[in-house]
Structure 1
Amino acid sequence: MSVGIIMGSDSDVPVVEKAKEVLEKFGIPFAATIRSAHRTPYDVQPIVTDWEVRGCQVFITAAGAAAHLAGAIASLTDKPVIAISLATENQTAVNGLDALLSSVMMPTGIPVATMAINGAANAALFAIKILALNDSAIQQKLREYRANLVSKTREKMEKLKESGWPD
Protein backbone atom coordinates (compact mmCIF):
# COMPACT_ATOMS: atom_id res chain seq x y z
CA MET A 1 0.00 0.00 0.00
CA SER A 2 1.45 3.36 -1.05
CA VAL A 3 -1.31 5.75 0.07
CA GLY A 4 -3.46 5.68 3.19
CA ILE A 5 -6.76 7.56 3.20
CA ILE A 6 -8.26 8.42 6.57
CA MET A 7 -11.70 10.02 6.71
CA GLY A 8 -13.23 11.55 9.81
CA SER A 9 -16.71 10.21 9.08
CA ASP A 10 -18.67 8.05 6.68
CA SER A 11 -20.32 11.24 5.43
CA ASP A 12 -16.93 12.06 3.84
CA VAL A 13 -17.04 9.06 1.49
CA PRO A 14 -18.93 10.73 -1.42
CA VAL A 15 -16.28 13.45 -1.77
CA VAL A 16 -13.32 11.13 -1.15
CA GLU A 17 -14.64 8.79 -3.85
CA LYS A 18 -12.93 11.12 -6.37
CA ALA A 19 -9.54 10.41 -4.77
CA LYS A 20 -10.26 6.68 -4.92
CA GLU A 21 -11.05 6.93 -8.63
CA VAL A 22 -7.81 8.79 -9.40
CA LEU A 23 -5.66 6.37 -7.41
CA GLU A 24 -7.31 3.41 -9.13
CA LYS A 25 -6.84 5.02 -12.56
CA PHE A 26 -3.11 5.30 -11.88
CA GLY A 27 -2.90 1.82 -10.36
CA ILE A 28 -1.71 3.11 -7.00
CA PRO A 29 -2.28 0.68 -4.12
CA PHE A 30 -4.12 2.30 -1.22
CA ALA A 31 -6.14 1.58 1.89
CA ALA A 32 -8.94 3.61 3.46
CA THR A 33 -10.58 3.82 6.84
CA ILE A 34 -12.59 6.07 9.14
CA ARG A 35 -10.99 7.50 12.27
CA SER A 36 -11.93 10.69 14.09
CA ALA A 37 -9.41 12.96 15.77
CA HIS A 38 -12.16 13.92 18.22
CA ARG A 39 -14.40 10.85 18.58
CA THR A 40 -11.78 8.09 18.35
CA PRO A 41 -8.44 9.76 19.12
CA TYR A 42 -6.90 6.60 20.57
CA ASP A 43 -7.61 4.74 17.32
CA VAL A 44 -5.64 7.18 15.17
CA GLN A 45 -2.08 6.34 16.21
CA PRO A 46 -2.39 2.54 15.76
CA ILE A 47 -3.66 2.87 12.17
CA VAL A 48 -0.87 5.31 11.26
CA THR A 49 1.75 2.97 12.75
CA ASP A 50 0.24 -0.10 11.08
CA TRP A 51 0.06 1.55 7.67
CA GLU A 52 3.64 2.80 7.90
CA VAL A 53 4.76 -0.78 8.60
CA ARG A 54 2.73 -1.88 5.55
CA GLY A 55 4.60 0.62 3.35
CA CYS A 56 2.37 3.69 3.33
CA GLN A 57 4.33 6.60 1.83
CA VAL A 58 1.65 9.33 1.86
CA PHE A 59 -1.42 9.94 4.00
CA ILE A 60 -4.54 11.66 2.67
CA THR A 61 -7.04 12.87 5.24
CA ALA A 62 -10.57 14.16 4.84
CA ALA A 63 -12.47 16.06 7.50
CA GLY A 64 -14.91 18.91 7.83
CA ALA A 65 -15.75 21.58 10.42
CA ALA A 66 -13.01 21.58 13.10
CA ALA A 67 -10.79 19.46 10.86
CA HIS A 68 -7.98 18.38 13.16
CA LEU A 69 -7.47 14.94 11.62
CA ALA A 70 -4.66 15.97 9.25
CA GLY A 71 -2.74 17.71 12.01
CA ALA A 72 -3.17 14.80 14.38
CA ILE A 73 -1.81 12.41 11.76
CA ALA A 74 1.01 14.77 10.78
CA SER A 75 2.07 14.85 14.43
CA LEU A 76 2.39 11.04 14.40
CA THR A 77 4.35 10.47 11.17
CA ASP A 78 7.29 11.71 9.15
CA LYS A 79 5.42 10.85 5.93
CA PRO A 80 3.68 13.59 3.91
CA VAL A 81 0.10 14.33 4.97
CA ILE A 82 -2.39 15.83 2.52
CA ALA A 83 -5.62 17.34 3.83
CA ILE A 84 -8.93 17.45 2.00
CA SER A 85 -10.98 20.11 3.75
CA LEU A 86 -14.64 19.24 3.44
CA ALA A 87 -17.70 21.44 3.13
CA THR A 88 -20.15 20.07 5.67
CA GLU A 89 -23.58 20.92 4.35
CA ASN A 90 -26.04 22.10 7.01
CA GLN A 91 -23.47 21.61 9.78
CA THR A 92 -21.55 24.88 9.75
CA ALA A 93 -22.33 28.34 8.49
CA VAL A 94 -19.07 28.72 6.59
CA ASN A 95 -19.38 25.66 4.30
CA GLY A 96 -15.84 24.30 4.46
CA LEU A 97 -13.87 27.44 5.24
CA ASP A 98 -13.59 26.31 8.87
CA ALA A 99 -12.07 22.99 7.78
CA LEU A 100 -9.75 24.72 5.33
CA LEU A 101 -8.41 27.08 7.98
CA SER A 102 -8.05 24.21 10.48
CA SER A 103 -5.85 22.37 7.98
CA VAL A 104 -3.85 25.34 6.73
CA MET A 105 -2.96 26.90 10.08
CA MET A 106 -0.58 24.24 11.37
CA PRO A 107 2.16 24.97 13.90
CA THR A 108 5.78 25.06 12.79
CA GLY A 109 7.19 21.56 12.55
CA ILE A 110 3.88 19.83 11.73
CA PRO A 111 3.29 20.68 8.06
CA VAL A 112 0.19 19.57 6.17
CA ALA A 113 -0.32 19.98 2.41
CA THR A 114 -3.85 21.35 2.13
CA MET A 115 -5.99 21.03 -0.98
CA ALA A 116 -9.00 23.11 -1.96
CA ILE A 117 -12.32 22.54 -0.21
CA ASN A 118 -13.59 19.14 -1.42
CA GLY A 119 -10.39 18.81 -3.51
CA ALA A 120 -10.17 15.02 -3.33
CA ALA A 121 -9.00 14.47 -6.92
CA ASN A 122 -6.14 16.94 -6.48
CA ALA A 123 -5.22 15.31 -3.16
CA ALA A 124 -4.80 11.99 -4.96
CA LEU A 125 -2.86 13.64 -7.79
CA PHE A 126 -0.56 15.36 -5.29
CA ALA A 127 0.06 12.03 -3.54
CA ILE A 128 0.85 10.49 -6.93
CA LYS A 129 3.31 13.30 -7.68
CA ILE A 130 5.08 12.56 -4.39
CA LEU A 131 5.28 8.86 -5.25
CA ALA A 132 6.54 9.73 -8.75
CA LEU A 133 9.67 11.32 -7.29
CA ASN A 134 11.14 7.82 -6.97
CA ASP A 135 9.20 5.88 -9.60
CA SER A 136 9.71 6.48 -13.32
CA ALA A 137 6.63 4.42 -14.27
CA ILE A 138 4.41 6.73 -12.20
CA GLN A 139 6.20 9.74 -13.71
CA GLN A 140 5.29 8.46 -17.18
CA LYS A 141 1.65 7.95 -16.19
CA LEU A 142 1.56 11.54 -14.90
CA ARG A 143 2.99 12.82 -18.21
CA GLU A 144 0.32 10.90 -20.11
CA TYR A 145 -2.39 12.22 -17.79
CA ARG A 146 -1.23 15.81 -18.35
CA ALA A 147 -1.02 15.30 -22.12
CA ASN A 148 -4.61 14.06 -22.04
CA LEU A 149 -5.66 17.21 -20.16
CA VAL A 150 -4.01 19.33 -22.85
CA SER A 151 -5.79 17.40 -25.63
CA LYS A 152 -9.19 17.69 -23.97
CA THR A 153 -8.74 21.42 -23.38
CA ARG A 154 -7.71 21.99 -27.00
CA GLU A 155 -10.77 20.04 -28.19
CA LYS A 156 -12.95 22.32 -26.08
CA MET A 157 -11.22 25.37 -27.55
CA GLU A 158 -12.03 24.12 -31.07
CA LYS A 159 -15.66 23.38 -30.19
CA LEU A 160 -16.02 26.90 -28.84
CA LYS A 161 -14.65 28.36 -32.08
CA GLU A 162 -16.88 26.09 -34.18
CA SER A 163 -19.94 27.26 -32.26
CA GLY A 164 -19.35 30.83 -33.39
CA TRP A 165 -17.36 32.37 -30.57
CA PRO A 166 -14.76 34.86 -31.82
CA ASP A 167 -11.11 33.96 -31.44
Structure 2
Amino acid sequence: MSALVGIVLGSDSDLPLMKDAVQTLEKFGIPYELNISSAHRAPDKTAAYAKSAASRGLKVIIAAAGLAAHLPGVLAAHTVLPVIGVPVKSGALNGVDALYAIAQMPPGVPVASVAVNGAKNAAILAAQMIALTDASLQQQLYRFKEHLAAEVEEKDARLKEFGVDGYLNAK
Protein backbone atom coordinates (compact mmCIF):
# COMPACT_ATOMS: atom_id res chain seq x y z
CA MET A 1 0.00 0.00 0.00
CA SER A 2 1.31 3.45 -0.79
CA ALA A 3 2.01 5.99 1.92
CA LEU A 4 -0.95 7.89 3.37
CA VAL A 5 1.06 10.16 5.67
CA GLY A 6 4.13 12.13 4.76
CA ILE A 7 6.48 12.96 7.61
CA VAL A 8 8.90 15.77 6.80
CA LEU A 9 11.80 16.65 9.08
CA GLY A 10 13.49 20.01 8.85
CA SER A 11 16.72 18.34 9.96
CA ASP A 12 18.02 14.90 10.83
CA SER A 13 18.28 16.15 14.41
CA ASP A 14 14.45 15.91 14.52
CA LEU A 15 14.52 12.14 13.90
CA PRO A 16 14.72 11.00 17.55
CA LEU A 17 11.61 13.06 18.36
CA MET A 18 9.68 12.01 15.25
CA LYS A 19 10.34 8.34 15.98
CA ASP A 20 7.24 8.62 18.23
CA ALA A 21 5.15 9.58 15.20
CA VAL A 22 6.61 6.73 13.15
CA GLN A 23 5.92 4.16 15.88
CA THR A 24 2.37 5.44 16.38
CA LEU A 25 1.56 5.25 12.67
CA GLU A 26 3.02 1.74 12.57
CA LYS A 27 0.89 0.77 15.58
CA PHE A 28 -2.23 1.75 13.61
CA GLY A 29 -0.97 0.13 10.41
CA ILE A 30 -0.85 3.42 8.52
CA PRO A 31 1.72 3.51 5.73
CA TYR A 32 3.96 6.56 5.75
CA GLU A 33 7.00 8.03 4.09
CA LEU A 34 9.78 9.87 5.88
CA ASN A 35 11.77 12.71 4.35
CA ILE A 36 14.28 15.37 5.32
CA SER A 37 13.78 18.72 3.67
CA SER A 38 14.18 22.34 4.64
CA ALA A 39 12.08 25.41 4.01
CA HIS A 40 15.28 27.49 3.98
CA ARG A 41 18.08 25.25 2.72
CA ALA A 42 16.07 23.28 0.14
CA PRO A 43 13.05 25.43 -0.71
CA ASP A 44 12.54 23.99 -4.20
CA LYS A 45 12.63 20.42 -2.90
CA THR A 46 10.18 21.31 -0.13
CA ALA A 47 7.75 22.98 -2.54
CA ALA A 48 7.96 20.09 -5.02
CA TYR A 49 7.27 17.59 -2.23
CA ALA A 50 4.15 19.45 -1.14
CA LYS A 51 2.90 20.01 -4.69
CA SER A 52 3.15 16.31 -5.54
CA ALA A 53 1.87 14.95 -2.22
CA ALA A 54 -1.83 14.58 -3.09
CA SER A 55 -1.15 13.06 -6.51
CA ARG A 56 1.12 10.49 -4.83
CA GLY A 57 -1.72 9.39 -2.56
CA LEU A 58 -0.82 11.16 0.66
CA LYS A 59 -3.76 12.25 2.82
CA VAL A 60 -1.93 14.20 5.56
CA ILE A 61 1.51 15.73 6.06
CA ILE A 62 3.25 15.96 9.44
CA ALA A 63 6.12 18.43 9.57
CA ALA A 64 8.59 18.86 12.42
CA ALA A 65 10.38 22.16 12.80
CA GLY A 66 12.14 24.14 15.47
CA LEU A 67 13.09 27.77 15.95
CA ALA A 68 11.39 29.85 13.21
CA ALA A 69 9.51 26.68 12.18
CA HIS A 70 8.70 27.69 8.62
CA LEU A 71 8.59 24.14 7.22
CA PRO A 72 4.94 23.33 8.06
CA GLY A 73 3.74 26.65 6.64
CA VAL A 74 5.76 26.35 3.46
CA LEU A 75 4.38 22.85 2.91
CA ALA A 76 0.83 24.09 3.58
CA ALA A 77 1.31 26.91 1.08
CA HIS A 78 1.94 24.37 -1.67
CA THR A 79 -0.77 21.75 -0.99
CA VAL A 80 -4.44 21.42 -0.13
CA LEU A 81 -3.73 18.48 2.16
CA PRO A 82 -3.94 19.02 5.91
CA VAL A 83 -0.56 19.80 7.45
CA ILE A 84 0.17 19.12 11.11
CA GLY A 85 3.11 20.98 12.58
CA VAL A 86 5.20 19.55 15.39
CA PRO A 87 7.09 22.33 17.16
CA VAL A 88 10.49 21.04 18.20
CA LYS A 89 11.87 21.96 21.61
CA SER A 90 15.06 23.83 20.77
CA GLY A 91 16.80 27.16 21.05
CA ALA A 92 16.59 29.81 23.72
CA LEU A 93 12.79 29.63 23.91
CA ASN A 94 12.59 25.81 24.18
CA GLY A 95 10.19 25.45 21.25
CA VAL A 96 7.72 28.18 22.19
CA ASP A 97 8.94 30.21 19.21
CA ALA A 98 8.27 27.22 16.95
CA LEU A 99 4.82 26.74 18.47
CA TYR A 100 3.91 30.37 17.77
CA ALA A 101 5.33 30.24 14.25
CA ILE A 102 3.27 27.15 13.41
CA ALA A 103 0.06 28.40 15.05
CA GLN A 104 0.19 31.94 13.65
CA MET A 105 -0.35 31.19 9.98
CA PRO A 106 -2.03 33.77 7.73
CA PRO A 107 -5.66 33.32 6.65
CA GLY A 108 -5.99 30.75 3.88
CA VAL A 109 -2.92 28.72 4.85
CA PRO A 110 -3.88 26.79 7.97
CA VAL A 111 -1.50 24.49 9.79
CA ALA A 112 -2.70 22.37 12.69
CA SER A 113 -0.32 22.34 15.61
CA VAL A 114 0.30 19.94 18.44
CA ALA A 115 2.24 20.61 21.63
CA VAL A 116 5.97 21.20 21.64
CA ASN A 117 7.55 17.78 20.95
CA GLY A 118 4.05 16.36 20.38
CA ALA A 119 5.02 13.88 17.65
CA LYS A 120 2.81 11.09 18.99
CA ASN A 121 -0.25 13.35 19.04
CA ALA A 122 0.53 14.49 15.50
CA ALA A 123 0.37 10.87 14.36
CA ILE A 124 -2.86 10.26 16.28
CA LEU A 125 -4.41 13.38 14.73
CA ALA A 126 -3.32 12.20 11.28
CA ALA A 127 -4.90 8.81 12.00
CA GLN A 128 -8.15 10.50 13.05
CA MET A 129 -8.20 12.47 9.80
CA ILE A 130 -7.69 9.34 7.73
CA ALA A 131 -10.31 7.49 9.82
CA LEU A 132 -12.98 9.87 8.52
CA THR A 133 -13.13 7.60 5.47
CA ASP A 134 -11.78 4.36 6.95
CA ALA A 135 -14.17 2.54 9.28
CA SER A 136 -11.59 -0.08 10.29
CA LEU A 137 -9.11 2.58 11.39
CA GLN A 138 -11.91 4.39 13.20
CA GLN A 139 -12.58 1.22 15.22
CA GLN A 140 -8.87 0.95 16.08
CA LEU A 141 -8.97 4.51 17.36
CA TYR A 142 -12.04 3.77 19.50
CA ARG A 143 -10.17 0.80 21.02
CA PHE A 144 -7.12 3.02 21.58
CA LYS A 145 -9.24 5.58 23.47
CA GLU A 146 -10.86 2.79 25.52
CA HIS A 147 -7.37 1.56 26.44
CA LEU A 148 -6.41 5.07 27.58
CA ALA A 149 -9.49 5.20 29.82
CA ALA A 150 -8.72 1.75 31.25
CA GLU A 151 -5.17 2.87 32.13
CA VAL A 152 -6.60 5.80 34.09
CA GLU A 153 -8.97 3.50 35.99
CA GLU A 154 -6.08 1.16 36.87
CA LYS A 155 -3.98 4.05 38.18
CA ASP A 156 -6.90 5.40 40.19
CA ALA A 157 -7.51 1.97 41.77
CA ARG A 158 -3.79 1.65 42.70
CA LEU A 159 -3.82 5.14 44.23
CA LYS A 160 -6.87 4.26 46.34
CA GLU A 161 -5.31 0.96 47.41
CA PHE A 162 -1.80 2.18 48.27
CA GLY A 163 -2.24 5.89 49.07
CA VAL A 164 0.07 8.63 47.90
CA ASP A 165 3.34 7.34 49.38
CA GLY A 166 2.71 3.72 48.43
CA TYR A 167 1.72 4.68 44.91
CA LEU A 168 4.79 6.85 44.40
CA ASN A 169 7.15 4.30 45.94
CA ALA A 170 5.74 1.58 43.67
CA LYS A 171 6.63 3.62 40.58
| Pairwise same-fold verdict (TM > 0.5) | yes
The whole-number CA distance in structure 1 between the counterparts of 2:24 and 2:135 is 18
TM-score, scaled relative to structure 2: 0.92
TM-score, scaled relative to structure 1: 0.94
Match of 1:114 in 2: 113
Aligned pairs for 1:30-109 (under 5 A) are 30-88=32-90, 92-109=91-108
The whole-number CA distance in structure 1 between the counterparts of 2:20 and 2:93 is 23
Q: Any idea what SS the aligned residue of 2:133 has?
A: coil
Aligned length: 162
Deviation at 1:47, TM superposition (A): 1.8
Deviation at 1:45, TM superposition (A): 1.8
Deviation at 1:162, TM superposition (A): 1.0
Query: Cα deviation per residue 1:84-122 (whole Å; 9 max; x = unaligned)?
Result: 00011xxx2111011001101100000000100000000
The whole-number CA distance in structure 1 between the counterparts of 2:93 and 2:163 is 40
2:27 to 13, 16, 25: 25
The whole-number CA distance in structure 1 between the counterparts of 2:13 and 2:31 is 23
Question: Are residues 1:161 and 2:160 paired?
Answer: yes
Match of 2:142 in 1: 143
Counterpart AA for 1:102: A
Unaligned runs of 5+ in 2: 165-171
* Aligned-residue RMSD, C-alpha: 0.9
Give aligned-pair identity as a percent: 45
The whole-number CA distance in structure 1 between the counterparts of 2:92 and 2:57 is 39
Deviation at 1:50, TM superposition (A): 3.4
Query: Cα deviation per residue 1:21-56 (whole Å; 9 max; x = unaligned)?
Result: 100000001001000001111111222233322200
